[in-house]
Structure 1
C-alpha cells in the first residue's frame, strides 16, 4: 500500500479521469473551470449546471516524521493542478469507498458549486460570477474510525443545484492516525496534540474554506456544518474547540452527538494497549512503522470496555479541548451558532444489516440482546426495560420493543441531552426526528440510522441507497433538503413546505417530525425519555 500517494492526477491517470467525466459537455478548454486558491490554481469540470472540484489539497502529507502532529498547510504550486478525482481517504480498516486509495496523505476536500463560468481568455475560465452562496460543509460518518467524503451518498451535485449553495465534503485523519493520545506516554512536544489531530485537520479544512470559498462562489460568513453519525459527533466536538470558533456559523448533527469526550487517563490506557498490540515501545519506531501495519494496533481489546477493538476519539487534552462539548452544560464557544439536532425513529435497525432474520422473536431474546446495544451507555436491568415497554406499548412485538429501547438508549438520548443543554443556555436547537420509513422490504426497517443522508443530499438513486426513488421519496427528500438549505442560508430552517418549526425549549421539547405529512410535536416519545432519565447516560468511548 503506497501511503505517500498524492491525488493530483498526471499522465495515464489523468486520461482515465477525463474519460470518467460526466457526459454533460465537458471539454478540456471552454468547459474546464480553473480557480486560483491560496495554494495554487486548480482545474475542475462541469457536471450539467454545477462545477465540480475533487481532491483539493488543504493540508500537507502528514506521514513519516509528521505522524501524530497537528496538520500544516501544503506547499504552494505554480502550475494548474487537475481536481478531477477524489483524494485518498485516511488509513482505516477495510477498503474504503469502492476500493478507494487509503493513505496518510489524506487531507483533501471536494467542492460542488453552481457558480457561473466567466471567460478569462483563450482556453481559460473561472468562477467569478459574484455569487455569495451559503456553504454546506459535510463531515462524514464512520465514527472516528472509518469513512470518507467520497461516498456516493454525499455526492453534492443535486444539493448544490437545488439550493444554489456550495457543497463541500472533506477527508481527515481517523482512528490512531487522528486520535491516538500519546502525550502522557512520550515526553515529546510533537505529540502533545496527538489525541485531537483529526479534529485539528477539520479546523484546517475550515480555514481553507474561509480563505478560498469565495473564489468558488461561496460566502465565507455563511458556512454550515452538517454531518451524520460520527460526522455529527465531530461537529459537536468542534463546537467546544476554541480553534474552530468563527469558522462556521450553523451546525446540524444528524444522529451523531458528542456529550463528553475521552478523558486523558482512559485515552492513555487505550494508547498503551494499542502500542502493546504492536509490540512497540518508542516513538521513533512507531513513526517508522508502515501505515498499514499500524492499523493492526486497532485490534487490541479495549481496556475500558473490556471487549471489541480499542476505541479512538477526541480527548480532553487541555489543549485543543479544555472542556466537554455538552457537559456539564453546552460549551459557551458554540452557543452563538444556530444548531439543528436530529435523530431517526428506528436508529438501531440500521445496525443489524438489512436482514429481517435479525429481528428478535421472543421476550427472552430481547432481554438477552439489549445489554450489548446499550453498551454501557445506559446501565439498567433489561427485564425492567422490557416490562416498561410492554406496559406502555401493549401492541408492540418483541422486535418492536428491542428496536425502540435500544434506540432510546443510544444516540437519541444524547440528542436530547444536547437539546436540553442548549435550551437551558438560551440557545435552543431545532430538534427533528425522522419517522418516514425506508421503502426497503415493504418498510419493515422503519426510519433507520443513515436514512436522512440521502434525503438531504437528494442522492436517492446512489449506490446502496435506502431511500428509494418513488414519488414519496422525492417529496420527502425535497422537504428535508429545503429545510437544511434554509438553515444554511439564514440559520433558521423555516420557509419551505413544513409547518412552523419552533426551536426546542423546556419543558415543551418541540420537535419536527419528518414524515409523509410532517408535523411539530411536543416531547415525542416522552414516556420513553422520562423512563431513561432514571439512569445517567455515558457517551460511548468516554
Structure 2
C-alpha cells in the first residue's frame, strides 16, 4: 500500500509547478484579444475584462507541502498562466463547490494595471472558521472596484485543516492557526504584487464578516499579521477570545479518535475524506453543532487573545470599524420566527438555548416587557438573544479600543430584510451585500429596490473612504464620530442613516451584569 506521506509529497511537487487554479485543473488557456495580462513576481497571468473591471481569478499565493503545517509561496513559472476561473475551496462539510487541499488561491478586481496606487480592500469570508470561500457571488468585487479601489478575496485552510491544535499531541506548533498563517501569506502576496495590479501595498484594508471579521481582528493580535494591514473592519465578527490551548487539545483528541488516527502523524496521512467526515462530529465541549475549530491561543503564532484582557496596544494605530446588525440571531432562529410559535410559556427555554450571557430568563423577560410592552414573545426572543449572544462581543471590541484611545468607529445595521414580511429584521450577514453594493445578487437577501440600492451606495462608499483614509466619513452620511465610552456614538444604517448615542442602552445594561464567555473556548 502506498504511504500517504509519499502521496502528499508528490502532491506538493505537482502543485508547485502550476501557478493558478486553472492550470492545476489542466484548463486550456484560451486567450482573447484585449484580455489583461499582469506581471507578478512569480510570472505573468492572464485575466478577463468584466463590466469594465479587470478580473484575475484563482491566483495561487501558496502551497502547503505538509498537512497542518505552515504553507510556503509557490515557485516562479515561465508561460503566461490562465487566471480566469476560481480556485477550489478548502475541504469542508456541506460544500456547494469543488474542494481540495490544494486551495490557496486569491482573486483580484482592479480598474487598471497602472501605477495609480489605489487603496486595497482584502475581504475574508465568513462561515465561522469552517465553511465558505472567496468565490461566493456575494463577494464579487466589481462594484467596489468601480469606486477606484483594488479588491481581493481569498481561500485558506478551514476547520481541522486550518485550526486543529496538535501542538500538545506531537503535531506542528503552528497547527492551531495555519488558516490564519495562510491569510498572512496571502497578505504578503498582496504586499509584493498588488502594485502591479494598480494597488498600493502601503494602504491595505482587511475586512470580513462573521468568522471573516473574527479572523481580521485576530490578525491585529498576531505579530506576523499586524505589519501587513493598515485598516480593519469587522462585520459581526464578535471575536474577543480565541480558543484556549487546553480546550483546543480536547477537541483535537476527539477529532483524531473520530477520524481513526492514533497520533497526529497518522492524522496527517489519512485520506481527506476521513477528515471531512470527522469534521461533522458533535462538538465534544459544547455538545451541539459540528466540532468547533477556531484560532487558538498557542503562545506562538497567536501569543494573546484578540481583546482579552484588553485591546492590543501594538495595534492601536490601526483604524478599526466595528459593525453589527440589529437582529443578528434571526439567521439562526429564523424558522421559529417564521412559524410564529414562540409563546410566553416556551420563551424561557428558547432564550436559554440561544443565549451566551448567563442571565435568568424570567428576569430577562420581565425587563424586556417593561422596555417594550407591545412586543410579542417572538419579538422579545429575537431582541434578547441578539443582546445576550451576538452583540456583547462587538461592544467589548469597541469599548476596549476606546480605553486605549485607538481610532474606532461603530455601526449598527437596522435596515430589515424584506423576507418573511420583515419578521427577520436585520439579521446576521445582511450587511455583506450592502457593503459590496451587490443587492442584485439573490443571496444578499436585501431586496434590490431603490431603498436597498441607496443604502448600499452609502455603505460601500463609506467603506471605500475608510480604506483610502482610515476614516469612514462621507458627504452622504451624517458626521460619524469615533466611538468613545462617554457618548458611544454609533452609525445607524437604515432607510435614514443617523447617529445614535448608546443605542439600545437598557438592553446593554441588562446583560452587562454577566461576563461574556466564549462558548467552549
TM-score (norm 2): 0.94
Give the structure 2 partner of residue 92 of structure 1: 92
How far has the Cα of 1:516 moved from its partner? 0.9
Give the structure 2 partner of residue 150 of structure 1: 135
Give the structure 1 partner of residue 3 of structure 2: none
Give the structure 2 partner of residue 401 of structure 1: 380
Report whether the alignment pairs 1:218 with 2:207.
Answer: no
**For 2:377 and 2:472, how far apart are their aligned partners in 1?**
37
Distance change (3 Å), C-alpha of 1:280 and 1:420? same
Give the structure 1 partner of residue 286 of structure 2: 305
Give the structure 1 partner of residue 240 of structure 2: 259
**For 1:80 and 1:209, how far apart are their aligned partners in 2?**
19
Which ranges in structure 1 are unaligned for 5 or more consecutive residues? 19-27, 116-126
Give the structure 2 partner of residue 21 of structure 1: none
How far has the Cα of 1:54 moved from its partner? 0.3
Give the structure 2 partner of residue 160 of structure 1: 145
**Where do residues 213-252 of structure 1 align in structure 2 (5 Å cutoff)?**
213-252=194-233
Q: Is the 8 A contact 1:111 1:168 kept in 2?
A: yes
**For 1:158 and 1:40, how far apart are their aligned partners in 2?**
28
How far has the Cα of 1:323 moved from its partner? 0.8
Q: 2:99 aligns with which of 75, 93, 102?
A: 102
Which ranges in structure 2 are unaligned for 5 or more consecutive residues? 1-6
**For 1:11 and 1:239, how far apart are their aligned partners in 2?**
33
How far has the Cα of 1:299 moved from its partner? 3.2
Distance change (3 Å), C-alpha of 1:353 and 1:38? farther
Q: 2:451 aligns with which of 459, 472, 491?
A: 472
How far has the Cα of 1:504 moved from its partner? 0.4
**For 1:406 and 1:43, how far apart are their aligned partners in 2?**
48
Report whether the alignment pairs 1:8 with 2:11.
Answer: no
Provide the secondary structure at the position in 2 that maps to 1:135.
strand
Give the structure 1 partner of residue 494 of structure 2: 515
**For 2:24 and 2:375, how far apart are their aligned partners in 1?**
61
How far has the Cα of 1:303 moved from its partner? 2.7
Give the structure 1 partner of residue 53 of structure 2: 50
**For 1:221 and 1:89, how far apart are their aligned partners in 2?**
28
User: Alpha-carbon deviations, 1:57-104, whole Å to 9, x = none?
Assistant: 0001x2xx60000111112111111000100000000123xxx21011
Provide the secondary structure at the position in 2 that maps to 1:76.
coil
Q: Is the 8 A contact 1:313 1:541 kept in 2?
A: no
Give the structure 1 partner of residue 473 of structure 2: 494
User: Alpha-carbon deviations, 1:324-373, whole Å to 9, x = none?
Assistant: 11011001222110000010111111223467534443112221111221
Distance change (3 Å), C-alpha of 1:529 and 1:360? farther
Provide the secondary structure at the position in 2 that maps to 1:246.
helix
How far has the Cα of 1:284 moved from its partner? 3.2
Q: Is the 8 A contact 1:428 1:505 kept in 2?
A: no
**For 1:11 and 1:521, how far apart are their aligned partners in 2?**
51
**For 1:48 and 1:435, how far apart are their aligned partners in 2?**
31
Q: Is the 8 A contact 1:277 1:299 kept in 2?
A: no
TM-score (norm 1): 0.90
**For 1:500 and 1:411, how far apart are their aligned partners in 2?**
27
Give the structure 2 partner of residue 77 of structure 1: 77
Report whether the alignment pairs 1:170 with 2:154.
Answer: yes
**For 1:108 and 1:265, how far apart are their aligned partners in 2?**
32
Distance change (3 Å), C-alpha of 1:428 and 1:386? farther
Report whether the alignment pairs 1:185 with 2:169.
Answer: yes
Report whether the alignment pairs 1:363 with 2:344.
Answer: yes
Q: Is the 8 A contact 1:479 1:497 kept in 2?
A: yes
How far has the Cα of 1:219 moved from its partner? 0.6
Report whether the alignment pairs 1:33 with 2:36.
Answer: yes
Distance change (3 Å), C-alpha of 1:55 and 1:416? same
**For 1:322 and 1:404, how far apart are their aligned partners in 2?**
35
Distance change (3 Å), C-alpha of 1:354 and 1:109? farther
Provide the secondary structure at the position in 1 that maps to 2:354.
helix
Provide the secondary structure at the position in 1 that maps to 2:109.
strand
Provide the secondary structure at the position in 1 that maps to 2:333.
coil
**For 2:268 and 2:53, how far apart are their aligned partners in 1?**
41
Give the structure 1 partner of residue 261 of structure 2: 280
Q: Is the 8 A contact 1:352 1:358 kept in 2?
A: no
Provide the secondary structure at the position in 2 that maps to 1:302.
coil
Q: Is the 8 A contact 1:458 1:478 kept in 2?
A: yes
Q: Is the 8 A contact 2:190 2:201 kept in 1?
A: yes
Provide the secondary structure at the position in 2 that maps to 1:384.
helix
Moved more, 338-347 or 431-440: 431-440
Moved more, 262-271 or 351-360: 351-360
- Number of positions where the alignment pairs a residue of Structure 1 with one of Structure 2: 507
How far has the Cα of 1:29 moved from its partner? 4.2
**For 2:259 and 2:421, how far apart are their aligned partners in 1?**
47
Q: Is the 8 A contact 2:329 2:390 kept in 1?
A: no
How far has the Cα of 1:412 moved from its partner? 1.1
**For 1:538 and 1:11, how far apart are their aligned partners in 2?**
43
Distance change (3 Å), C-alpha of 1:410 and 1:355? closer
Q: Is the 8 A contact 2:318 2:407 kept in 1?
A: no
**For 2:514 and 2:273, how far apart are their aligned partners in 1?**
41
